[in-house]
Structure 1
């Protein structure tokens, strides 16, 4: 499931509203373990480095 989530986030990353929606949905619905969420967090911070993406990730992963 983690690879599927990564694929979706890459595809919607151009639209920040959809990116945030999908990231939140992934964290709360698709990824059951803390290890998977941590893996996703690390991947996101490595993959998306624009200030807008960073703001969204900070909020989503802190909730």
Structure 2
């Protein structure tokens, strides 16, 4: 599931609103272990959306 989420987030990263929507949905659906990996991956790959990431990973 985590790899699928990464793929989706990469595809929607051009649109901040859509990216945030998909990220929130992913956070809700993933297991805790996957969520830790997702958070790390997001900060590594989407630092330009830093404010969105901070809002979602509260």
Shorter chain as denominator, the TM-score bin is over 0.9
Residue correspondence of structure 1 range 1-63 to structure 2 within 5 A: 1-29=1-29, 31=30, 33-50=31-48, 53-62=49-58
* Partner SS for 2:57: helix
Instruction: Specify every segment of 5 or more residues in structure 2 that has no aligned partner in the other structure, as ranges.
Output: none
Structural RMSD (CA): 0.6
Paired with 1:23 and 1:43, the residues of 2 have a C-alpha distance of: 12
> When the two structures are superposed, what TM-score results if normalisation uses the length of structure 1?
0.88
Cα-to-partner distance string for 1:1-51 (whole Å, 9 max, x where unaligned): 00000000000000000000000000002x0x211101000000000111x
Runs of 4+ in structure 1 off by over 2 angstroms are none
Gaps of 5+ in 1: none
Per the normalisation by structure 2, the TM-score is 0.95
